[in-house]
Amino acid sequence: MSVYLDNAATTPIAPEVIEAMLPVLKEGFGNPSSAHSYGRKSKALIETSRRSIAKHLNCLPSEIIFTSGGTEADNMAFNSAVNQMGVTHIVTSKLEHHAVGHTAEHMKSDAVRVSYVNVCKKGNVDLKDLERLLQYEDKTLVSLMHANNEISTLLPIDKVSELCRKYNALFHSDTVQTMCHYKFDLKALDIDFIAGAAHKFHGPKGIGFLYINKDRKADVLIHGGAQERGLRGGTENVYGIVGMAKAMDLAYEDLLGHKNHVQELKTYMINQLKEYFNTINFHGETAPEKSLYTVLNVCFPKNEKSSVLLFTLDMKGVAVSGGSACSSGASKGSHVLEGIGADMERPNVRFSFSRLTTKEEIDFALDQVKSVFEKTLA
């Protein structure tokens, strides 16, 4: 048996999404910028998909800009804020995805400074410290992810939005991990930018989007064509866009049902691990109301196989990721775990689930984890 529990990295593409994409791959080859019938057909597919996505998010179709994924979307938001809206102060955290953290550092200059809001050991943003940082006179962009991709802690996004508006700051949230896992009402949520990537919700890789509030001015990210209202030059990824819209349709068919199913699996795994291990910790928040239900980061007891735990589990048929990037040959561990003061000497493993995950798979994974530690705990 082989079990995939690394859905925070990417999800398997849904069969229905493949079915929706196949006709476009076979017959919808027209360039959307062409004036003939082939081109018009492709253009219609793009705009139908854009309207569908906008409907799910309760925003205007014109507020959705298609990108190659979440990283590009985040970059576009930062470029727009700094180059078009005069931002001179970026407020973010040390726990953000590199798509935000590295971009913020890249934007740093004599004209733009970067501040980091305090976070607690569970990864929660200190809202009082955020308010302190917002009291400067600078034009500010706040960029805080909706849920941490490694430790699952959820941001109180409404409260952050209220603070940003109180101090006339722009607000960007990397929602890549939470898109299609939670309902977004962008007419109710006062926010300027959010990002999505299809491969995080059973869609194809290489396609995503940026929501840009209609009251904000976007900056051209890729020059060379008039596509995406002149903001992103280059022939559109038509079949990817169609696949992303279909994946979102599937997610929204039963958003609550999917959430309940996955949360039940996560809670079950937490309880089983607590029952088996005397000393086990969970990074980030685990309470359902404070935690992204698709992610569980576990700090296991140290043993002789700690350094090769991910490899050992993979050999036993369980695909997971580490809290540390060292598992991929990098010289430095996870900046997120480091940022919350985690014990980097102990093995940290991120299990991440999807609506396709079953209890039988969780039981298999638990059995393999136990087999690695059975001698240590004997």
Tell me which residues are annotated as active site: 326
SS (HEC) of the chain: CCEECECCCCCCCCHHHHHHHHHHHHHCCCCCCCCCHHHHHHHHHHHHHHHHHHHHHCCCHHHEEEECCHHHHHHHHHHHHHHCCCCCEEEECCCCCHHHHHHHHHHCCCCCEEEECCECCCCCECHHHHHHHHCCCCCEEEECCCECCCCCEECCHHHHHHHHHHCCCEEEECCCCCECCECCCCCCCCCCEEEEEHHHCCCCCCCEEEEECCCCCCCCCECCCCCHHHCECCCCCHHHHHHHHHHHHHHHHCHHHHHHHHHHHHHHHHHHHHHHCCCCEEECCCCCCCECCCEEEEECCCCCCHHHHHHHHHHCCEECEECCHHHHCCCCCCHHHHHCCCCCCCCEEEEECCCCCCHHHHHHHHHHHHHHHHHHHC
